[in-house]
Amino acid sequence: MTVETTRKERIDRGLKVRTEGIYAISSFGEIAYLIGPRLLLIVGVLLLPLILELAPYWKRVVNIMCVYAVLALAFDFLANYVGLVCLGGALFIGVGGYLAAIFNVYLSLPFYLSIPLATVFGAALCTVIIMPCLPLRGVYFAIVTLMYPILFSRIIEALNILGGTNGITGLDSLPGEYVEQYTIIIVMLLALFGMRRLVSQDVGLVLRGVKDNDQSIRASGINVTVMKSLAVFIAALMGCFGGAYIAHLYMWAGLSLFALDFSIIPMGGGGTLIGAVVGCLILVPLSEFLRFFGTFRIVIYCIILTGFIVFKSEGLMVYLQRKYHQFERIVNV
């Protein structure tokens, strides 16, 4: 007579090895375990415009939240995969917004041309501007990139060009409420999963090598400056799209596009990419909720951020991912 005994076993036992190597799965349960968190994020974000149908203010908050999420992806990619702590988010937003205004207002191009053109040309311009700073690392690179949006805004103000302090008005609005919502949501999701795919490819491994030991990359015959420039261009693509989108969303491009909020707020991620997005999904609505406290909201906001940094310095998503993979089930022995 045999007696069946049971024991606890981690759900991801063997699954991680099989999916990373040959992507072999054996049941719908394993499929659900792998894609469940991803589907939760995708479906949740896509349903937000429908859930907030009767709250137009919060629908606009979702738009800005997604822009910050795209910027946070760019920051996380540069900081944690390339080793470039870039505080030039406001530069990307400003250049993308002003170029969209120039293409749309001055050159009379429709929005479906002005936004992609502003994205590509803006990314190229930002890459050329930042390229002389690529030999710098750490706080030095961060400080220089933080100075660029201040420099551009002061040049526009002093020379009274591109509308001066009044900005450029009269941009075409995006056609329809749902186009406004789902354009930035879909781009955010594509950027997230596209970047996750990129960093796992050969080019991603080279970029990680640039961060960890750029001398070994040079010894392999790879041009480190070219790889850094490619990384900056990819990050600038996301940021310039956000700027072009905001310019058409508000039908205006002005000095506020160079506001340092775009450089400082979209930080985090801890090298997970998804963490940068989830952080924005939490912090941007939180800052809006705290408006009830008036100017005191900054104090509460800083206390909350400090709490996250002190008690979960590894990053919220790193902690949640570890806990998710520690789930156990009862199996027969």
Give pLDDT tens digits for 260-317: 888 877 766 666 788 888 888 888 888 888 888 777 777 887 788 788 777 766 667 7
Q: Which of 234, 245, 259 is nearest to 99 (CA)?
A: 245
User: How is residue 187 written in tokens?
Assistant: 């781009």
Pick 6-332's CATH classification: 1.10.3470, 2.30.30, 1.20.140, 2.40.160.
1.10.3470
CB within 8 Å of 317: residues ≥ 6 apart? 269, 270, 272, 274, 275, 278, 279
Domain boundaries, the chain: 6-332
Bigger pLDDT: 198 vs 269: 198
The upper half-sphere exposure of residue 167, i.e. CA atoms within 13 Å in the direction of its Cβ, equals 20
Tokens 């080279």 identify what position? Answer: 206
User: How is residue 87 written in tokens?
Assistant: 């505080």
CA 253 to CA 136: how far, in whole Å?
A: 31
The upper half-sphere exposure of residue 59, i.e. CA atoms within 13 Å in the direction of its Cβ, equals 18
**pLDDT score recorded for residue 86:** 86
Q: Is 74 exposed, middle or buried (0-12, 13-18, 19+ CB in 10 A)?
A: buried
User: How is residue 121 written in tokens?
Assistant: 């040309």
Q: How far is CA 89 from the centre of its chain?
A: 10
Bigger pLDDT: 3 vs 90: 90
Give pLDDT tens digits for 212-240: 888 888 888 888 899 999 999 999 999 99
DSSP 8-state secondary structure symbol assigned to residue 268: -
Query: Which band of pLDDT confidence, cut at 50, 70 and 90, is reported for residue 4?
Result: low
Q: Is 136 exposed, middle or buried (0-12, 13-18, 19+ CB in 10 A)?
A: middle
